[in-house]
Amino acid sequence: MDSYLGNIKECRFIHSLASGAKITDPSVVKGIGDDTAVVRGPGNKYWLFTVDMLAESVHFKKGEDLKKVGYKAMAVSVSDIASMGGLPRYALVSAGFPRQGFQEKARRLMSGLRQCASRYGISIIGGDTNRSDKLVVDVFLAGEVEQRRLVLRGGGRKGDVLFVTGRLGGSQSGRHLCFQPRVRQARFLTAHFKVRAMIDLSDGLALDASRLAEACRLGVILFEEKIPLHPDAAGLKSALTDGEDYELLFALSSKDAGRLNAAASSQRPPLRFIPVGVLTDQFRGVRLQRRDGVVRGLPGPSFSHF
Amino acid sequence: MDSYLGNIKECRFIHSLASGAKITDPSVVKGIGDDTAVVRGPGNKYWLFTVDMLAESVHFKKGEDLKKVGYKAMAVSVSDIASMGGLPRYALVSAGFPRQGFQEKARRLMSGLRQCASRYGISIIGGDTNRSDKLVVDVFLAGEVEQRRLVLRGGGRKGDVLFVTGRLGGSQSGRHLCFQPRVRQARFLTAHFKVRAMIDLSDGLALDASRLAEACRLGVILFEEKIPLHPDAAGLKSALTDGEDYELLFALSSKDAGRLNAAASSQRPPLRFIPVGVLTDQFRGVRLQRRDGVVRGLPGPSFSHF
């Protein structure tokens, strides 16, 4: 269940991959380093490509209901597309199954994959299957976004307000398998506001905020009193570091921030966004302002246990 | 090393996947059931999407040089794109690594992936990494093809001549790790001829010819005397069933067939295609005409050992 560490390691591998393969193709708008890759598409649109692999014992327990695993496998990629402001369109699914109980396992997994695909308007158009000692499922998802609605990680400016789309922490008690990717929220935001930076919270607010800040070449102050704790969260630390919340974290200018929730509350059903911090040029990394006013640093993604 | 059986099983799983998820999106030209999925793209082009997963102990031996594994992981997907008449463009790579020796393994694998990507003009634009007891690598590849050059499996007509792009059999002695996907051949063919049906030979001529025939709702007669044996092949059976040749099998009208090799030989360097059979409406499935004139049936993809 240590996707937190798993993802830190991923960063390093993916960066090594990125550094070795200089992309010269001018149709690639964004390669490795954001929630999805971005490629020029038809007309005024971009294609968004992302892939997420879930493995037994790492992202889900042996014996877990595979329908839930299938749902999650699709949903984590949908969340990546949402964090770019886009809509998911086409999925291809690779899966490796243990020999024992293959048929039933495949059926349950597919049922969950389809449930999520159906909910978000995705066509499953291909796949590959293999044997594997432990179950592994890998979802490739292609989405699209209007060029003017594309949101990268790195466009935030000092003084921008950071919001999240929901309560954080304790997702491992069950939510991490059945969360709802915030596509509707992302589409509302990019339709009505200039969203300057956005990322989905896969590894916890502390780490993902540091990634967003790093991409913006700025620092982040989070306000303890503002951070919305989920009822499942064990406390503030849980909300900061548990991971797998799959809420969105995004930056708006202070002017846009002031009118956000009035506009959101007029939606049917209404939406609500929670301000949790600000971007600053006074330092790099993430700091937390406690209720007593004391500001302290939070660890960033600079270590690995792989 | 039983990708033959692995792929038969794959057929069944993927068909169950296909049957359960009716695709209603009109932009999907072809979902599951060909070498790649086909989606409407910009202007007069289609997108081609494919994914192939390679797993240790199934597609390559533990201890195999991971540079070769990386090359192969990319190349099998390139071959899928070629079999549709297209050009590969963008890749995303998921990999699961055992903890031990992660860095070096990742480096070797990436080196092979990059080698193939570079050779075929592919940009590696994303990926995901995980831990896994056994190494697994999954390559998603997006390609494109001009609408008029798209080749599906099912367009062959009775009397069409079937060709292959090279010699068959015995690829497990090493070739299965370093083959050259037939992109150049496919692009030559679709530039100068109306290719009516095409498939790449991943599971052996007998099985893949039966797939092409089935898609065309026709039968195939293969001529023993024409089947080009690779020097590594142990004999005819090897050429028919070993698999992992990654040559192309395609159908041309008899008129086009007559002028194919004259046109091919004028290319620089020259190309050459080998006629191996014909499509017929006299039966379904695949039959082999032996040198002595006797015709016998070959087993099709109707069994599974999974």
Q: Which residues does chain B have within 8 Å of residue A13's beta carbon, measured at their own beta carbons?
A: 95, 106, 127, 129
Query: What is the spatial distance between Cα A82 and Cα A267, in angstroms, rounded to a whole number?
Result: 18
Q: Is residue B184 over pLDDT 90?
A: yes
For residue B84, pLDDT over 50 is answered with yes
Taking 50 as the threshold, does the pLDDT of residue A300 lie above it? yes
Q: How confident is the model at residue A11 (pLDDT cuts 50, 70, 90)?
A: low
Taking an 8 Å cut-off on Cβ atoms, the answer to whether A131 and B42 are in contact is no
Task: Give the mean model confidence (pLDDT) for residues A227-232.
Answer: 97
CB B31 within 8 A of CB B37: yes
- Bridge pairing between strands A87-97 and A123-131: parallel
pTM of the model: 0.90
B278 band by pLDDT with thresholds 50, 70 and 90: very high
CA of residue B240 relative to chain centroid, distance: 15
> What residues of chain B, 85 to 144, have a C-beta less than 8 Å from chain A?
89-90, 92-96, 99, 102, 106-107, 110-111, 114, 117, 123-134, 136, 138, 140, 142
Q: Which two tokens stand for residue A39?
A: 């490629």
Confidence of residue A2 (pLDDT cuts 50, 70, 90): very low
Is residue A306 very low, low, confident or very high in pLDDT (cuts 50, 70, 90)?
Answer: very low
Query: In terms of CA atoms, which chain B residue is nearest residue A118?
Result: B21
Q: Tell which residue, A114, A128, A125, has the closest CA to residue B51.
A: A128
- Residue with the two structure tokens 């195999």: B64
**Does A61 score more than 70 pLDDT?**
yes
Task: Give residue for tokens 């293969």.
Answer: B222
Chain A hits for B69, CB-CB cut-off 8 Å, are none
Q: Which of A19-28, A210-219, B38-47, B289-298 has the lowest mean pLDDT?
A: A19-28
**Tokens of residue A303, six digits:** 């270590």
Instruction: Say if CB A73 and CB A191 are below 8 A apart.
Output: no
Q: What is the pLDDT of residues B212-232, one digit of tens each?
A: 999 999 999 999 999 999 999
Structure confidence at residue A148 (pLDDT): 96
Lowest-confidence region among A118-122, A301-305, B145-149: A301-305
Residue-level pLDDT at A1: 35
Interface residue B178 vs chain A (CB under 8 A): no
**Contact criterion met (CB below 8 Å) for A230 and A239:** yes
Please, which residues have CB within 8 angstroms of residue B294's CB and are 6 or more apart in sequence? none
Mean per-residue pLDDT for A14-33? 74
- Contacts of residue B138, Cβ cutoff 8 Å, sequence gap at least 6: A51, A53, A94, A128, A138, B51, B52, B53, B54, B73, B93, B94, B95
**A20 in B contact zone (CB under 8 Å):** yes
Q: Say yes or no: B5 contacts chain A, CB-CB below 8 A.
A: no
List CB contacts (< 8 A) between B100 and chain A. none
Q: Which residues pair with A144 in a beta bridge?
A: A47, A87
Residue A237 touches partner B, C-beta closer than 8 Å: no
Is the minimum CB–CB distance between B49 and chain A shorter than 8 Å? yes
Mean pLDDT of chain A: 90
Q: Which helix (H) or strand (E) holds B7?
A: helix B3-20
The reply to whether A31 touches chain B by the CB within 8 Å rule is yes
**A306 vs B51, B58, B102: nearest CB:** B102
**What is the percent of chain A with per-residue pLDDT over 70, rounded to a whole number?**
91
Residue B2 is predicted with a pLDDT of: 40
pLDDT higher than 80, residue A237: yes
Pairwise CB contact (< 8 Å): A53 & B94: yes
Compare B194 and A131 and report the one with higher pLDDT. B194
pLDDT of residue B41: 80
pLDDT score of A200: 97
Neighbours of B191 (CB within 10 A): 11
Query: What's the confidence (pLDDT) of residue B77?
Result: 97
Q: Is the pLDDT of residue A305 over 90?
A: no
Whether A21 contacts A28, CB under 8 Å:
no
Cβ contact (<8 Å) for A37 and B125? yes
Confidence of residue A5 (pLDDT cuts 50, 70, 90): very low
User: Hey, is the C-beta of B2 within 8 angstroms of any chain A C-beta?
Assistant: no
Q: What is the mean pLDDT of chain B?
A: 90
Q: Is the pLDDT of residue B17 over 80?
A: no
- Comparing alpha-carbon positions, the chain A residue that sits nearest to B3 is A130
Which residue is closest to A25 within chain B, CA to CA? Answer: B123
Q: Enumerate the residues of chain B whose CB falls inside 8 A of the CB of residue A134.
A: 132-133
Q: In whole angstroms, what is the distance from residue A221 CA to residue A213 CA?
A: 10
Tokens for A290?
A: 């406690």
Task: Give B218 to chain A, closest Cα distance, Å.
Answer: 25
Domains defined for chain B, CATH in brackets = 34-148 (3.30.1330.10), 151-298 (3.90.650.10)
Q: What residues pair up with A126 in beta bridges, in sequence order?
A: A92
Q: What percent of chain A has pLDDT over 90?
A: 75
Of all residues in chain A, the one with the smallest CA distance to B29 is: A125
In this prediction, residue B299 has a pLDDT band, given cuts at 50, 70 and 90, of low
Q: Which residues of A touch B39 (CB under 8 A)?
A: 90, 125, 142
Residue A42 predicted with pLDDT over 80: no
Does the distance separating the beta carbons of B128 and A52 come in below 8 Å?
A: yes
- The pLDDT score that the predictor gives to residue B4 is 42
Above 80 in pLDDT, residue B3? Answer: no
3-class DSSP assignment, residue B80: helix
Does residue A191 sit at the B interface (CB-CB below 8 Å)? no
State whether A36 and B126 contact (CB < 8 Å): yes
Smallest CA–CA distance, residue A234 to chain B, in Å, is 27
Average pLDDT, stretch A81-102?
Answer: 93
pLDDT band at A4 (very low <50, low <70, confident <90, very high): very low
Q: How, if at all, do strands A274-280 and A219-223 pair? A: antiparallel
| pLDDT for the residue numbered A299 | 67
Q: pLDDT confidence of B144, banded at 50, 70, 90?
A: very high
**Residue B5's pLDDT is what?**
44
Across B160-187, average pLDDT: 96
Give how far Cα A100 sits from Cα of A128, B13, B136, B240, Å: 18, 15, 19, 30
